[in-house]
């Protein structure tokens, strides 16, 4: 079973700062998803990246899929308090077409 | 708007009790999932179902069972709750393959005393 690593595990920043979080593995993936989970809620899909080197933007969030499709990054510009939450990356389990593997997450806290 | 609902947001049970967690989706999705979420471990799959009355074990099925009698409803059962089953339980549904969006419920925080 492939493992996903996410870094950093925790991040606390001031409002207005920029940040990048990472999702890494030794395996190659056909696609990768990023979810955000706000306190007290279930995760919500932010984006799916499919092509190596792909960059997708969602307002102040920029997602990149590594050229070799083994890693991904999420960059947030000018963080806001509403960005606070747990950021999870997820990939399809190569051993089971139906299953998804989630990383442990990066817990982001944006302080006003 | 798609919706996944879970029967309880918070639940406190005693060791040895039988616990039912229910999940309902209104999107006519084929696939439904039960995860538990613990700090530092991410989401771990307990069971999933790809059709009515069909189920597959996930990564941590021990101590749990599931039931899917209707397409919209997927139940997680703890036959005899133990303290190590204290956790956040998340239900999700998905229309198609693993590349599709999973829609999650708000979660049930279960405490077993």
Number of structural domains chain B divides into = 1
CB A33 within 8 A of CB A91: yes
Per-residue confidence (pLDDT) for residue A2, from 0 to 100: 57
A35 touches A101 (CB < 8 A): no
Nearest C-alpha neighbor of B83 from the set B111, B62, B63, B60: B111
Residue B106 lies in a domain: no
List CB contacts (< 8 A) between B57 and chain A: none
- pLDDT (0 to 100) of residue A72: 96
Q: Which residues pair with A10 in a beta bridge?
A: A107
For chain A, domains (ranges, CATH) are: 5-111 (2.60.40.10)
Residue listed under structure tokens 């708007």: B1
Q: Are A29 and A70 in contact (CB under 8 A)?
A: yes
Residue B26 within any structural domain of the chain = yes
* Per-residue confidence (pLDDT) for residue A97, from 0 to 100: 64
B100 within domain boundaries: no
pLDDT at A104: 92
Number of neighbours of residue B90 by Cβ within 10 angstroms: 25
For residue A16, the tally of other CB atoms under 10 A from its CB is 11
d(CA A6, CA B107) in angstroms, rounded, equals: 22
In a domain, B76, yes or no: yes
Which residues of B have a CB under 8 Å from any CB of A? 4, 31, 35, 40-43, 45, 48, 50, 56, 58-59, 90, 92, 97-99, 101-102, 104-107
Concatenated DSSP letters of A35-80: EEE-TTS--EEEEEE-STT-EEEETTEEEEE-TTSSEEEEEESS--
DSSP B102: P
Cβ partners under 8 Å of residue A96, min gap 6? none
- H or E segment at B110? strand B108-112
What residues of chain B lie within 8 A of the CB of A33, using their CB?
A: 99, 101
Q: Classify the C-alpha dihedral A10-A84-B89-A4 as positive or negative.
A: negative
Q: Is residue B105 packed enough to be buried (19+ CB in 10 Å), middle (13-18) or exposed (0-12)?
A: buried
pLDDT of residue A3: 81
Q: Mark the ranges of chain A whose per-residue pLDDT is less than 50.
A: none
| CB atoms A45 and B101 under 8 Å | yes
CA nearest to B58 within chain A: A99
Residues A45, B31: C-beta atoms closer than 8 Å: no
Does a structural domain hold residue B103?
no
Task: Report how far residue B102's alpha carbon sits from residue B104's, in angstroms, rounded to the nearest whole number.
Answer: 6
Range(s) of the domain holding residue B39: 17-94
Mean pLDDT of chain B: 94
CA distance A45 to A90: 10
Subunit contact B104:A97, Cβ cutoff 8 A: no
Which CATH number is B34's domain given?
A: 2.60.40.10
Contact B42 A30 (CB under 8 A): no
A11 in Cβ contact with A109 (< 8 Å): yes
Whose CA is closest to B10, among B103, B107, B92? Answer: B107
- B chain contacts of residue A97, beta-carbon cutoff 8 Å: 97-98
Q: Which residue on chain A is closest to B49 by alpha carbon?
A: A98
Residues of chain B scoring pLDDT < 50: none
Give the pLDDT confidence score for residue A1 in this predicted structure: 53
Is B109 domain-assigned? no
Distance separating alpha carbons of residues B56 and A104, to the nearest angstrom: 23
Kindly state whether residue B69 falls inside one of the protein's structural domains: yes
Q: Among A46, A90, A100, A103, pick the best mutation site for testing chain B contact (most B Cβ within 10 A).
A: A100
């Amino acid at each position: 079973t492939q493992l996903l690593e996410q870094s950093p595990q925790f991040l606390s920043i001031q409002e207005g700062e920029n940040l990048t979080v990472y999702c890494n593995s030794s395996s190659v993936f056909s696609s990768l998803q990023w979810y955000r989970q706000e306190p007290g809620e279930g995760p919500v899909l932010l984006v799916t990246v499919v092509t190596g080197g792909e960059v997708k933007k969602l307002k102040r969030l920029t997602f990149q899929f590594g050229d070799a499709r083994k890693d991904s990054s999420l960059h947030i510009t000018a963080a806001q308090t509403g960005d606070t939450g747990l950021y999870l990356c997820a990939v399809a389990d190569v051993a089971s077409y139906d299953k998804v593997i989630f990383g442990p997450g990066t817990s982001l806290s944006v302080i006003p | 708007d798609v919706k996944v609902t879970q029967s309880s947001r918070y639940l406190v049970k005693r060791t040895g009790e039988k616990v039912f967690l229910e999940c309902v989706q209104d999107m006519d999705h084929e696939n439904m999932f039960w995860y538990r979420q613990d700090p530092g471990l991410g989401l771990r799959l307990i069971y999933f179902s790809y059709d009515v009355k069909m189920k597959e074990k996930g990564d941590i099925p021990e101590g749990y069972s599931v039931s899917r009698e209707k397409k919209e409803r997927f139940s997680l059962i703890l036959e005899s709750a133990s303290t190590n089953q204290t956790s956040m339980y998340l239900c999700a549904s998905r229309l198609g393959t693993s590349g599709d969006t999973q829609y999650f419920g708000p979660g049930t925080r279960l405490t077993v005393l």
